[in-house]
Structure 1
Amino acid sequence: MEKLIPNRLSTLGHPQRLALFRLLMRRYPDRVPATELAQALGFKSSTLSSYVNALMHAGLVTQERIGTSLRYTIDMDAARETVGYLLHDCCRGRPEICIPNAYPTPDGDSPMNNRKYDVLFICTGNSARSIFAEAILRDMAGDRFIAHSAGTKPRSKLNPFALEVLKQKGYDVSLLRAKNISEFQTADAPNFDFVFTVCDQAANEECPSWQGQPISAHWGLPDPIKAEGSDAEKSLAFHQTYGALRNRMIAFTALPLGTLDRLSLQKAVDKIGQFKEENPSK
C-alpha cells in the first residue's frame, strides 16, 4: 500500500490518463470498447493502448475481451481504496474537512430526506430517450419526483416518432421541449438529487460537476433515431426504447429512498442501468 497508492496517484497525474479514468468512471459499470474510448477522447489507438496499459498496471482499470473487441472498466475496489486513502489518511480520518459539502450538515439534514426529489435525464439531442424518461417519471411518480431532461447538443425539435409513442400511451406532451444542459447550470437551477445519462455519447462527454453532489448513474440505451427501415420498423425501435425506460423507472420509483444509505443507493441505480429487457407493450 505504501508504494501502490503513490504509483496510482502518479499515474492519474497525467492529464490524458486522468481524462480516460474519468470517462470510465462516468460509464461505470459499463465495459467500454477501446474504439469508443479512442473516438470519445480523440486518441490514436496506439496512444489509447499506452494510457490503458498504465492504468491497468496501476490496478485502476481491468480489461476483458468480448469477441474481437477489448473492453475496459474501472476496478472500483481499487478506486475506492485510493480515494479512501486520501480521505482517511491524508485528511486524518476527517473527510468532512476535505469535502465538506459531501456530508450531512450538523442539524442532520441530508439529500435523501422526505421530500420531492429533483431528477435530471441527459442525452445528446434531448429529443427522444431523455424526453421519454422525463415524461415517464413525471407521469408515474410526479408526487415524489420532479423530472427534468436536457441535451448536451439539443435538437431544435423533438423527434416525431418519440412524440407519437408518448401520445399513443396517453401522455401530455404539451410541456415537453428540447433543452440545453446549460439551462440547469445557472445559480437558480435546481439542486439535483439524481442525474442519469441515457446515451453513451452524453456520458462520454465531460460536464461540469453538479452542485450538491447528486447520485449519478449511466442508463445508456441505443439511439432509436438511428433505426433504419420502414416507418413501422423505426416506430418499433422507439417503442422498445420507451419500454426499456419504463421498466427502469418502475424499478427506480420502487427504491426505498428514505432507508438506503448513499453507497447502497448508488449500487441500486447502477444495477438498474444494467437492465437489458425491453417491453414496448405497455
Structure 2
Amino acid sequence: MDSPTAIKILSTLGHEGRLSIFRLLARRAPDALRPSEMALACRLKHSTLSAHLATLSQAGLIQSRREGTAMYYSLATGQTRDFTSYLLEECCRNRPDLCLPTAPTAPAPREAKPGPATILFICTGNSARSILAEVLMRDIGKGRFKTYSAGSYATGKVNPNTLDLLDRSDHDIDGLHSKSLEEMQGPDAPVFDFVFTVCDHAANEECPAWPGQPVSAHWGMPDPAAVTGTDAEVALAFAEAYRTLHTRIEAFAALPLATLDRMSLQAEADRIGALPPTS
C-alpha cells in the first residue's frame, strides 16, 4: 500500500460514524449486513448511513452485493489487512523482543489441554436461544463440553416456552437460569475455548477481550421469544430455533477438535453457523 491510499483511509476513518460502521463490520466479518441492521446498531439515520457507506466503499474498506432488491455490506478484508500491515511495517525495527506479533499464533492442538472444551453461548436476554444452545451442547456432547450461556442484557428469567420445550424434549432443566455477561468475566470466570453469539444484536455489540483468545463465531437466528400470535405460532418459533441449534451443535460435536488447528476450527465454526435446520 502506498502513502496516498493510507492517508485516504485514515481520513475516511477519522469520523465517528464511519469508524463505528467499520468496527461493526469488522466484528461481524465475514458476515454481510443489511443497512437497516447497521443503522440500528450504530444509531444512525438511514440517509447518514448511506453517505458513510459510499465513503467507506470509495476507500476500499467495505464491499457490497445485491440479492434481489436487498443490499448487503461486508468488510473488505484484503484492503483492511494491507492497511494495518502498512501501519505496522517495520514496527520496532522488526525486533521480536520489542514488538509483539500482530496476529495471534495458532493454539496448541486440543489434546494439549486436558478436560472438556469450555463453550459460551451469548444472546441479548439469555432467556431462549442461548439457553437452548447451552443445554443442547451439554447433552449432545455427552461430557466432552462444559457449557455456559449469558446475555448482554440478561432478563433474569428464562422464557417459560424454553423450559417447556426442553422438558418435553427430555432435557434436564434443573438449575437453568438467566445470567449476565458480567458473570462470565473476571478472575474467577471460566476460560473459554469457544464463544458463539446466537443473536444479531449481541454479535453487533463490542466484544469483551476474552482471555485465552477463544475461537468465536456467529450462529445467528430469529428470536423465538419475540414472536407474537397464537400459542401454536409461538411454539412453532421455539421448535424452529431448537431444530436449527440441534443441527449446528450436532455438526460441531462431530468435529475432530483435537486434530484441527485454529484456522481450521474457525472455518468450521463459521460454516456451521450458516447451517439451516435439518428436516
1:74 & 1:93 partners in 2: Cα distance?
A: 31
The answer on whether the counterparts of 1:155 and 1:178 sit within 8 Å (CA) in structure 2 is: yes
Shift in Å, 1:198: 0.2
Unaligned runs of 5+ in 1: none
Shift in Å, 1:78: 2.8
Please name the residue that 1:110 is paired with. Answer: 108
Shift in Å, 1:99: 4.6
- Establish whether residue 8 from structure 1 lines up as the match of residue 9 from structure 2: yes
Shift in Å, 1:69: 2.8
2:266 & 2:24 partners in 1: Cα distance?
A: 18
The answer on whether the counterparts of 1:102 and 1:212 sit within 8 Å (CA) in structure 2 is: no
1:70 & 1:10 partners in 2: Cα distance?
A: 25
TM-score, reference length from structure 1: 0.87
Q: 1:48 to 1:222 in 2, by over 3 A?
A: same
Of 183-192 and 126-135, deviating more is 183-192
Q: 1:7 to 1:140 in 2, by over 3 A?
A: same
Aligned length in residues: 275
Residues 164-175 of structure 1 correspond to what in structure 2 (within 5 A)?
164-175=164-175
Q: 1:270 to 1:85 in 2, by over 3 A?
A: farther
Please name the residue that 2:79 is paired with. Answer: 78
Please name the residue that 1:25 is paired with. Answer: 26
TM-score, reference length from structure 2: 0.88
The answer on whether the counterparts of 1:88 and 1:95 sit within 8 Å (CA) in structure 2 is: no
Which residue type is aligned with residue 164 of structure 1?
D
Question: Aligned with 1:72: secondary structure?
Answer: strand
2:144 & 2:97 partners in 1: Cα distance?
A: 31
Residues 1-282 of structure 1 correspond to what in structure 2 (within 5 A)?
1-3=1-3, 4-86=5-87, 89-90=90-91, 92=94, 94=96, 97-99=99-101, 102-103=104-105, 110=108, 112=110, 113-115=112-114, 116-279=116-279
Which residue type is aligned with residue 100 of structure 2?
C
Shift in Å, 1:268: 1.4
Sequence identity, in percent? Answer: 47
Which residue type is aligned with residue 78 of structure 2?
D
1:196 & 1:93 partners in 2: Cα distance?
A: 36
1:252 & 1:86 partners in 2: Cα distance?
A: 37
Q: 1:119 to 1:267 in 2, by over 3 A?
A: same
Shift in Å, 1:74: 1.4
Shift in Å, 1:93: 8.2
The answer on whether the counterparts of 1:114 and 1:258 sit within 8 Å (CA) in structure 2 is: no
The answer on whether the counterparts of 2:62 and 2:75 sit within 8 Å (CA) in structure 1 is: yes
Shift in Å, 1:171: 0.6
Shift in Å, 1:242: 0.5
The answer on whether the counterparts of 2:109 and 2:259 sit within 8 Å (CA) in structure 1 is: no
Shift in Å, 1:9: 4.3
Structure 1 outlier segments of 4+, above 4 Å: 84-89, 93-96
Q: 1:159 to 1:53 in 2, by over 3 A?
A: same
Q: 1:213 to 1:256 in 2, by over 3 A?
A: same
Which residue type is aligned with residue 82 of structure 1?
F
Aligned CA-pair RMSD: 2.5
